[in-house]
Structure 1
Amino acid sequence: MFTQLNPSLPVHVLGKGDGLALAVIDYGPEHNILWVTAIDATGEIWCAPNPQVRMQKNWSMGRPQSLAVDASKRADAKQD
């Protein structure tokens, strides 16, 4: 099943960066949901498996940045 998200959700794909999730693809109970995500920095579109996707921090919702996102951003900075 393909579901377009309206509105798009701000997410972080581990190893790829921040972006907007445009849709989700669900192949069923034996598979991870795939997040169709446009990466902000590169414009690339990735279908990221659910374990690699985190919501971006949101101060007004009281949601801090995920520790996994912190680690991902540190690793990305070392590669630059």
Structure 2
Amino acid sequence: MFTQLNPPIPLTVLGKGDGYAIGLIDYGQEHNLIWVTIITSTGEFWCAPNPSVRAEPNWTMGRPRPAIDTAN
């Protein structure tokens, strides 16, 4: 199933950088969600699996920039 995100969601893709998710692909219960993302610095589109995606910081919500783990 493909879901278009409106509005896009700001996020970070590990190893690629900050961007905006414009869609979400769900292949079902035995697969990771796939975030269709435009990377801000390069304009590239990447389909990133859920373990490689991190939420952007949000001062109002008290969420700091996530620690970037290099395991993924």
**Which category describes the TM-score, using the shorter chain as reference length?**
over 0.9
* Per-residue CA distance 1:48-77 (angstroms, 9 max, x = gap): 000000011011111101012xx56xxxxx
Q: TM-score, normalised by structure 1?
A: 0.83
Report what 2:39 is aligned to.
39
Query: Which structure carries more strand by proportion?
Result: 2
Structure 1 stretches of 4+ with a deviation exceeding 6 A read none
Query: Which structure carries more helix by proportion?
Result: 1
The two structures, once aligned, show a CA RMSD in angstroms of: 1.1
Which residues of structure 2 form unaligned runs of 5+? Answer: none
Q: TM-score, normalised by structure 2?
A: 0.92
Which residues of structure 1 form unaligned runs of 5+? Answer: 73-80
Q: How many residues are paired up? A: 70
Q: Greater CA radius of gyration, 1 or 2?
A: 1
